[in-house]
Amino acid sequence: MISRNLLFAVTTALVIAAPLAYAAEPAGVKVTLTDQTGKDMRIGLSTNKVKAGAVEFEVINASTDLMHEFLITPWKGTITSLPYDARENAVDEPKLPHLEGVEDMPAGAKATIRLVLTPGEYVVFCNQAGHYKMGMEARFTVTK
């Protein structure tokens, strides 16, 4: 899906999403996108809670054959309640309040993105067609 505020992944390239406004080391989160022949798709996070400020997400698409992506949006509701476009079989991205991340990562691709996050509840997800409904979503919390 093509969305605002998103970057395209380039295999093994380092992608910096936003200029860093803080001198402190950013919090680090390792993100692993996995699937097994189209089943058991998930987003693995090394931690699902960080302090507000700069956060560096080290994303790897560990799939051997499928494209995945890593998107993050502020969301107070349940992780399965994002606005959904049934025709596209994907989360309705323009209806989200804010969206960042890295999309269309080929199998094996890695990307590092650095975001500045404010306190609150977030949902991370993959929005390749069908993947959100197949379990590629997780809660992410940013504390004060």
Distance CA 60, CA 126 (A): 12
Among 8-16, 98-106, 115-123, 124-132, the segment contacting Cu ion (CB under 5 A):
124-132
Distance CA 48, CA 14 (A): 22
Residue 13: CB minimum distance to Cu ion, A: 19
Q: By 3-state DSSP, what share of the chain in percent is helix, strand and coil, each rounded to 5?
A: 0, 50, 50
Residue 84: CB minimum distance to Cu ion, A: 15
| Among residues 71, 105, 126, 138, the one that binds Cu ion under rule CB under 5 A | 126
Residue 132: CB minimum distance to Cu ion, A: 8
How far apart, in Å, are the Cα atoms of 82 and each of 19, 68, 74? 28, 18, 10
**Cβ atoms of 34 and 41 closer than 8 Å:** yes
Site for Cu ion in 3-62 (CB under 5 A): none
Binding status of residue 68 toward Cu ion by CB under 5 A = yes
Provide the binding-site residues for Cu ion, judged by CB under 5 A.
68, 126, 128, 131, 136
